Structure 1
Amino acid sequence: MKGLATWLAVALAAGLPGLVSGERLAKRDSSSTVTLTVNPSGGNASSPLLYGIMFEDMDHSGDGGIHGQLLQNNGFQGDNPGLTAYESIGDVTIAQDMDHPVSDAIHSSLQVAVNANATGFVGFANTGYDGVPVMKTTYLCEFWMLGNYSGNITLQLVGSSSGKVYASHNMTVVSSEEFTNHQTTFNSSASSDGNNEWRLLFDSALVPNGTLNFGLVQLFPPTFNTRSNGLREDVATFVDDIKPSFLRFPGGNNLEGLQIDTRWQWNLTIGPVVDRPGRESDWFYPNTDALGLDEYLWWCEDMNMEPVLAVWDGKSYGGILSGTDLQPYVDDILNELEYLLGPSNSTYGSLRAQNGRKDPWPVNYIEIGNEDDLTGGCDTYPDRFTQIYDAINGSYPNITLIASTITESCLPSDPPAGVVYDYHYYREPDALVAMFNLWDNQPRSQPVMVGEYGCRNTSATDGVFWSSILCSCSEAVHMIGLERNSDVVRMAAYAPLLQHFGYTSWSPTLFGFDSSPDSLTPGTSYYVQQMFSANRGTTILPVDTDADFGPVYWVASKNNTAYIVKLANYGAEKKTVHVNVPNTTTGVLERLSGSEYATNQPHEIKVRPNSKTVTSSQGNYTIHMDPWGVAVLSVTSGATALHFSLGAIIAWQICIFLPQLL
């Protein structure tokens, strides 16, 4: 790491020579035409893990978001939940009851007291996360109940304002003075909006002047891969369409905790949801932790993503632990790793098996902390990093460890070989484009992960705005720079991933949604990520040209089925790009363009990519680039499908790590 800080400062301030031969960086070319010839040999290896996603529960992206459970405040978790999302129905009084906890983890329940004049069916409603999505589908419903009752319970999905009933399901329940669990499924028709609620009704005549308690009410639509306690199918499918190759979790700031005691604790996010206490998150609302450690890993498995697990390293927003004070938490990391990686007859491995996963999870990457160059962590991170590194590496030498910063002054003076350095940055468009060549001169023995990046106009009120074509084009330019250096840039993730439009505290994200039908709205940046991720090469190829980078930027690559050229025109004038890819005849050209500040806003998708088939007997292709336009050309000698194999990933990892082992 010698001189890394100096290198980074110089790289940000000045243009550096391109990595791939035949290209150069210089002042922007004013010509309206650019000619590129792709050299089919030479170049450098490209990481198969380059394009992935980073997730933390913010903007209700987890609870109320990608996690399938639709009812809010169902466990009364967090510092002061009150009766958020609950409403009484009929002549009853509802209250949070601390005297009747559902479990050792769920410390209270909802008490429904039947008033003396009550008649008919009464109960309560939960309005979800700014409404309940009501779709034509089959729902799974679950709740815990306490109190003497034997009779029918009616579950409904109803328009909150209209009163229209979309689903009504009767079930027979026998309840006693101990909490018992009840489950059922029912079908629903679709609502035209998101202003809906879930209702539970019971016969007041069977509870004269009495009370019933309900806890941990849950409502699930179909889940991705039909996982129990799984991801919401439509939202998860939208993520899967990006074709991400890794998932970095559980954050982000939400790993750290506002206080040490409210950090993300792995052992409190496993097992039955009724045994998960939840916590107050770093993003102004409680986390249920129903989306827990195993759920993250099932998510990775179902989308064929490499897990990148972050572990707590002693830094919270309310305090920092180091030295002997940190050691119990280091021991806890080793317990977590035994849970993930240990045999099913080990202490924690047997707990994993009990929770439904007999075989060890394939965890190969672990990040030590999050952004330790910020919020006061820098001074102690060298010692904290070394303490945790030594513990993990001593027991699991084949795991690749990631430092949560690239700042030299925050790192050990002589870091261990093979460590990956994480760097996060959010920039305005011009500043992000200026970082195009940031990694050109990065020492190839010092791999990096860009764990968070994105274009963000922080001059907007509260930093909230929607991704524009200008921003997305600047990201494409930067991604071209990342891809050209993807022998050393192992992984990169746009962040944040998604938001519930009703609960935005940070924007933009790749996409968002709310409780209404067809609300999934991709930002323009979503399409750039999708275009680049779905078209990947295993080798970055040299490009022969007399043009200079800017305003047109490019990168060429190949895999075992196709040659791929990615282009971005970061300028206000149209450009024509002539691309020669020898020995190719056919392919697909995909383009994204629009006016400079064109956006996709909730329920209003104005900008989409378009694609067309291209053919050429000589391997010559002409691409007309609109201002602020992004394009991906994928061509072959015939019509073949683009795909990646596990063998390619393994071969790449062998090429990278074998020299370090010899």
Structure 2
Amino acid sequence: MGSKETLCRTRTILCFLLLFCVSCKCSASEFEITQVASLGVDASSHLARKIPDTLFGIFFEEINHAGAGGIWAELVSNRGFEAGGPHTPSNIEPWSIIGDDSSIFVGTDRTSCFRRNKVALRMEVLCDNCPAVGVGIYNPGFWGMNIEDGKTYNLVMHAKSPEMIEMTVSLTSSDGLRVLASAAIRVPGGSNWIKLDQKLVAQGTDRTSRLQITAKTKGVVWLDQVSLMPSDTYKGHGFRTELISMLLDLKPRFLRFPGGCFVEGSWLRNAFRWRDSIGPWEERPGHYGDVWNYWTDDGLGYYEFLQLSEDLGAAPVWVFNNGISHHDEVDTTAIAPFVKDILDSLEFARGSAESTWGSVRAAMGHPEPFPVKYVAIGNEDCGKENYRGNYLKFYNAIREAYPDIQMISNCDGSSGPLDHPADLYDFHVYTGSRALFSMKNTFDNTSRSGPK
């Protein structure tokens, strides 16, 4: 009996639960059907705040080979043999020698035909019966040259030899055993330097290739300014097409260049100098970036950054050195030559083709001015002893010469007014995502009438 009562009671409970669930489901369905929610959005123009066209952009710095070995398409590292310094003999890295002491002697001297790049490489072939592959030098580029099947590469080099000498230029695998492209070139005898141009068409792909320059007969030859670039750079402007296409996809509205700490230098003697980065590439002395610790030949220079801004449809933001590095500063009483230097840089960008520096730009292939409307006076220098004094010298001179240019201070104006005039200010944060999210209200109380 007890078991039957228990069974009946259990069935009753199950039936009740089933009816309850059905009832709830019906009620829920009825609720879903009968309840209506609405969301009102007031998009009145007087309530809206227009997002500036220049809100999103690119901050470029020559760091981790972002330029040399990155977006700049030059494949040869240390193309002018200047990276080892002005004194000879010097280190020629990353160039290396093919052959041994009995077959070849390679060194540097100061016999180049280029006024600002006097170091050249001297290669003396010693062997009568040289190996079949020849002896010479090779350059691996930046971590190996990415050579692609069917592509054309433009080789330019300068050479001289007292007697005629025949050489071979090749693109090979990293061990030199597989030849992807090769051509014979002849250096006529004489005392004058000559420029040699050679197209190399790759018959294969190798991501870690190298450039070889070899000879098989006795003789002496000097080489300098050896350049290898793909023929399909973006618009012929020297940039890697596949990387620029990625930058275009970002749709940047400004390009801040060339840095960063690269602008300052660990010491002023190694800071970026715009004058040294313009004109014929063979005459650019290059410099050692002592903050990020590598040599750049400055093929990607001030002019190229302006050209890149134009190609991207982005406003150029020229960040210049204000007489301050990480370890030394120019006193404000002596800053005048630095101010004039920057005024000249602005004339180079914006001046007419008849002006002193505008004519240099025009000779480089861009007669129309570049629309530079933003400059940053220094990089992360707020708090340095001479920053405020130097800043005001630059600010006043630029405001007088170019009243439409907006000037960017290195000092943070988000929490209080600046103690110097500025149109904009830098707000640089180096932290993790959690800290960034915690700063979401940082600008809530920032003045809307002062610098942005």
Tell me which interval the TM-score lies in, with the shorter structure as reference length: 0.7 to 0.9
Alignment correspondent of 1:259: 267
Q: In 2 relative to 1, CA 296–149 (structure 1 residues): closer, same or farther, beyond 3 Å? A: farther
AA paired with 2:184? N
**C-alpha contact (below 8 Å) 1:112/1:123 kept by paired residues:** yes
CA offsets per residue over residues 622-643 of structure 1, 9 Å max, x none? xxxxxxxxxxxxxxxxxxxxxx
Task: Decide which of 48, 53, 57 is 2:53's aligned counterpart.
Answer: 48
1:91-490 residue pairs with structure 2 within 5 A? 92-119=103-130, 121-136=134-149, 137-150=151-164, 152-161=166-175, 163-174=177-188, 176-192=190-206, 194-202=207-215, 204-205=216-217, 208=218, 210-228=219-237, 230-281=238-289, 282-373=291-382, 377-406=383-412, 413=419, 415-416=420-421, 419-448=423-452
Higher relative contact order (CA 8 A, sep 6+): 1
- CA shift, 1:435, in A, is 1.5
CA offsets per residue over residues 428-461 of structure 1, 9 Å max, x none? 121011122322332112343xxxxxxxxxxxxx
Q: TM-score, normalised by structure 1?
A: 0.58
Question: Matched residues in 2 for 1:296 and 1:256: separation?
Answer: 17
AA paired with 2:394? I
**C-alpha contact (below 8 Å) 1:224/1:237 kept by paired residues:** no
Query: How many percent of aligned residue pairs carry the same amino acid?
Result: 31
CA offsets per residue over residues 461-482 of structure 1, 9 Å max, x none? xxxxxxxxxxxxxxxxxxxxxx
SS at the partner of 1:95? strand
Q: In 2 relative to 1, CA 432–61 (structure 1 residues): closer, same or farther, beyond 3 Å? A: same
**C-alpha contact (below 8 Å) 1:256/1:315 kept by paired residues:** yes
**C-alpha contact (below 8 Å) 1:251/1:310 kept by paired residues:** yes
- CA shift, 1:40, in A, is 3.5
Q: TM-score, normalised by structure 2?
A: 0.83
- CA shift, 1:366, in A, is 0.7
Q: In 2 relative to 1, CA 412–384 (structure 1 residues): closer, same or farther, beyond 3 Å? A: farther
Larger displacement relative to structure 2 (259-268 or 289-298): 259-268
Question: Matched residues in 1 for 2:40 and 2:199: separation?
Answer: 59
Q: In 2 relative to 1, CA 123–382 (structure 1 residues): closer, same or farther, beyond 3 Å? A: same
AA paired with 1:231? F
Q: In 2 relative to 1, CA 439–143 (structure 1 residues): closer, same or farther, beyond 3 Å? A: same
SS at the partner of 2:57? strand
Question: Matched residues in 2 for 1:280 and 1:399: separation?
Answer: 31
SS at the partner of 2:69? helix
- CA shift, 1:403, in A, is 0.7
Question: Matched residues in 2 for 1:157 and 1:286: separation?
Answer: 24
SS at the partner of 1:65? coil
Larger displacement relative to structure 2 (132-141 or 398-407): 398-407
SS at the partner of 1:145? strand
**C-alpha contact (below 8 Å) 1:146/1:212 kept by paired residues:** yes
- CA shift, 1:99, in A, is 2.9
Q: In 2 relative to 1, CA 94–336 (structure 1 residues): closer, same or farther, beyond 3 Å? A: farther
Question: Matched residues in 2 for 1:410 and 1:60: separation?
Answer: 37
Alignment correspondent of 2:75: 70
Question: Matched residues in 2 for 1:72 and 1:384: separation?
Answer: 36
Question: Matched residues in 2 for 1:333 and 1:180: separation?
Answer: 36
Q: In 2 relative to 1, CA 329–175 (structure 1 residues): closer, same or farther, beyond 3 Å? A: farther
SS at the partner of 1:51? coil
Alignment correspondent of 1:515: none
Alignment correspondent of 1:4: none
AA paired with 2:408? I
**Structure 2: gaps of 5 or more residues:** 1-37
AA paired with 1:260? L
Question: Matched residues in 2 for 1:412 and 1:384: separation?
Answer: 15
AA paired with 2:43? P
**Structure 1: gaps of 5 or more residues:** 1-34, 449-662
Alignment correspondent of 1:478: none
**C-alpha contact (below 8 Å) 1:378/1:410 kept by paired residues:** no
AA paired with 2:124? A
- CA shift, 1:332, in A, is 0.9
